[in-house]
């Protein structure tokens, strides 16, 4: 697979003069061209996930990793869990509120762990394949 050194798109032809996507000229032997995509920092992903999650924004660590849909889904799940716990407190059902509060805490820790795991997977895939996994 050959990558355009200008736009980064890949195409199967090895001996081409111009990129079929952006039209920029390619050097002969373009298969040796290195296209760099920055890796994601697993520590930063965890830190973002923990700090944002502390303020009720679980999933922001996944958005940092370019997993926008998963990040928004985690954000909504976190909001639903937190709102449910709050409503149980207002309703005087404290046992359910405590159980949901523990669930919110476990969810907060899990989403930070998953952001770390996904960042490591992203970097491994990027180094092996030359392009991001998603």
**Domain encompassing residue 8:** 1-35
For residue 54, tell me if it sits in a domain. Answer: yes
In this structure, are 2 and 18 located in the same domain?
A: yes
| Residues 57, 6 share a domain | no
d(CA 2, CA 104): 46
What is the model's pLDDT at position 30? 43
Please report whether residue 134 resides in a domain: no
Same domain, 87 and 113: yes
Residues 59 and 2 in one domain: no
Number of domains the chain contains: 2
Predicted TM-score (pTM) of this structure: 0.72
Do 14 and 58 have their domain in common?
A: no
| Of 39 and 8, the one with more pLDDT | 39
- Tens digits of residue pLDDT in 55-110: 999 999 999 999 999 999 999 999 999 999 999 999 999 999 999 999 999 999 99
Degrees, nearest 5: CA angle 114-117-122 = 120
User: 106 lies in a domain?
Assistant: yes
100 part of a folded domain:
yes
Residue 1 pLDDT more than 80?
no
More confident residue, 65 or 15: 65
Residue-wise burial string across 87-104, b where 16 or more C-beta atoms lie within 10 A, e elsewhere: ebeeeeeeeebeebbeeb
**In a shared domain, residues 63 and 106:** yes
């Amino acid at each position: 697979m050959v990558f355009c050194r200008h736009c980064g798109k890949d195409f199967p032809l090895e001996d081409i003069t111009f990129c079929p996507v952006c039209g920029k000229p390619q050097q002969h032997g373009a298969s040796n061209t290195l296209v760099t995509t920055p890796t994601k920092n697993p520590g930063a992903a965890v830190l973002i996930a923990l700090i944002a999650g502390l303020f009720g924004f679980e999933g922001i660590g996944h958005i940092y990793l370019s997993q926008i849909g998963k990040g928004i889904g985690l954000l909504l799940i976190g909001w639903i869990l937190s709102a449910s716990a709050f409503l149980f407190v207002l309703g005087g059902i404290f046992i359910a509120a405590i159980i949901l509060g523990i669930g919110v805490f476990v969810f907060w820790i899990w989403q930070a762990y998953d952001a770390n795991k996904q960042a490591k997977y992203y970097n491994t895939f990027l180094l092996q394949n030359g392009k991001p996994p998603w």
